[in-house]
Structures are given as structure tokens and as C-alpha cells.
Amino acid sequence: MRQLRWRAAALLALILAPFHSGSALARPLRIVAFGDSLSAGFMLPANASFPGQLEAALRAKGRDVTVVNAGVSGDTASDGLARLDWSVPKGADLVIVEFGANDMLRGLDPEITRRALNEMISRLKARGASVLLAGMRSTTNLGESYRGRFEAIYPALAKAHEVLLYPFFLDGIAEEAGFNLSDGIHPNRAGVAKIVEGILPAVEAVLDRLGQAGAPSGAAGNR
């Protein structure tokens, strides 16, 4: 009798296994936008911020995702590193790392920025998260030497850590009045939409590499 009960339990486990594994894979993928005011959505409502618009764009394409806003206005890369453990939820599948603008505006030594970003990426990867690194450019008034050192940080780190690089987070909107708030620095709703449009293929490429269950039919492996 005991042997029959064991066989029945084993058979039930085999029958239910596909359903259990399917439900585990069906959860939305968790994306974290980890950065400063540019990704946090300075002076914008939540649905107009970068995380809000990115989530809407991905869901409109059939992606089952949630995008967490882990941006803090004024943060340097070192500030971000200091709060990484409590700002980026455990179990994040993809972290979009967007830091450096405040470092550059304050004229910080690019080596300080590089070290902070390097440690940040290392720790995120050690958690098992995929990383998409968003690059930043320097203003011309800091000189060519500073600009060269600062802008070289991002491709070098992307290569060293084998993560995907989106070369310039503000591509297409920097110094374009129609895409920025009155301060000329932070993107408005239209500016954020432009950022999302530009970075979306890179985000989807990472999601496809993850083989995520929420991908549209046929998306994974067809890039």
C-alpha cells in the first residue's frame, strides 16, 4: 500500500511539473532604472518619467515587464554605489545603469566616476542581473582632455564587463529646447519619449538574451 501511494504521488508530481514551471516563468521581468534625475523623471509625473514611459512602450510591444524607478536627483556615480544595495531590489533581471552627468557637471575626476561604475556593474552582475550601461558625454567647456577621459569610461567598462552599452542617454535631445524643461538640462515628457525610442532596441536585445517568458512570440533568438 505504501508503495502504491508513493507511485501515485510521483505520478501526480510529473503531471503537475509543467504547470509549476510554467507559472514560475510567467512572472513579469523586473527592470530597474538606476540613475540620477535624468532617469528619475525630474519634475515629471510618474507616467511621463523614463521608467513609466519605458514600461508602457515595452508592454505595448507585448513584453511582460515591470520597470522600477530607482533614480535619485543629484546623485553622482559614487552616490549611486553607496545606495545600490537598498535601491536596486533583489531579483532584478535587468538594471539600466545611468550615472555620470552630475560627476561631469561638478568636474569630478573621471577616475572617481570610473571606479564607482566599475564596482556598481561588478556587484550587479554578481547578483545575477543583466546590465545595460547608459553612456554620458561631457560639455565642451571642461576641455578636450577632460572630455576624452570622461567619455572613454563607458565603452571601456562595457567591454571589460561584457555588457551592452547605449552610448549616450540624452542622444537626440541634448541642447534641444523642445525636448527639455526650462532649465535646459532635464528632459520633458517629449524628451523622455525620445530617449525611450532610442534606447528601446537595446533594452529589447537584452530581454531577448534573457530568453524571457514575457517576450512576444518568436522574439527570443530572432535578433
pLDDT tens for 157-181 read 999 999 999 999 999 999 899 999 9
pLDDT tens for 16-44 read 333 333 334 467 999 999 999 999 999 99
- Confidence at residue 21, expressed as pLDDT on a 0 to 100 scale: 36
Q: Counting Cβ atoms within 10 Å, is residue 1 exposed (0-12), middle (13-18) or buried (19+)? A: exposed
Of 194, 186, 185, 116, the C-alpha closest to 150 is 116
pLDDT tens for 84-110 read 999 999 999 999 999 999 999 999 999
Give yes or no for residue 133 having a pLDDT over 60: yes
Alpha-carbon torsion angle 152, 159, 50, 202, nearest 10: 130
- Confidence at residue 144, expressed as pLDDT on a 0 to 100 scale: 96
Which residues 6+ apart lie within 8 Å of 57 measured at CB?
196, 197, 200
Residue labelled with grid coordinates 569610461: 153
The pLDDT mean for the chain works out to: 87
Domain spans of the chain, in order of start: 25-210
Give yes or no for residue 5 having a pLDDT over 90: no
- Confidence at residue 9, expressed as pLDDT on a 0 to 100 scale: 40
pLDDT band at 113 (very low <50, low <70, confident <90, very high): very high
pTM of the full structure: 0.84
- Confidence at residue 96, expressed as pLDDT on a 0 to 100 scale: 98
Residue of 36, 78, 130, 186 marked active site = 186
Amino acid identity at 180 = N
What proportion of the chain, given as a percentage, has pLDDT over 70?
A: 83
Residue of 145, 182, 183, 217 marked active site = 183
CATH number of the domain at 25-210, please?
3.40.50.1110
pLDDT band at 76 (very low <50, low <70, confident <90, very high): very high
Residue of 36, 37, 39, 78 marked active site = 37
- Confidence at residue 79, expressed as pLDDT on a 0 to 100 scale: 98
What proportion of the chain, given as a percentage, has pLDDT over 90?
A: 80
- Confidence at residue 26, expressed as pLDDT on a 0 to 100 scale: 63
Angle between helices 110-126 and 77-87 (to 10 degrees): 20
- Is 183 catalytic? The answer is yes
- Is 37 catalytic? The answer is yes
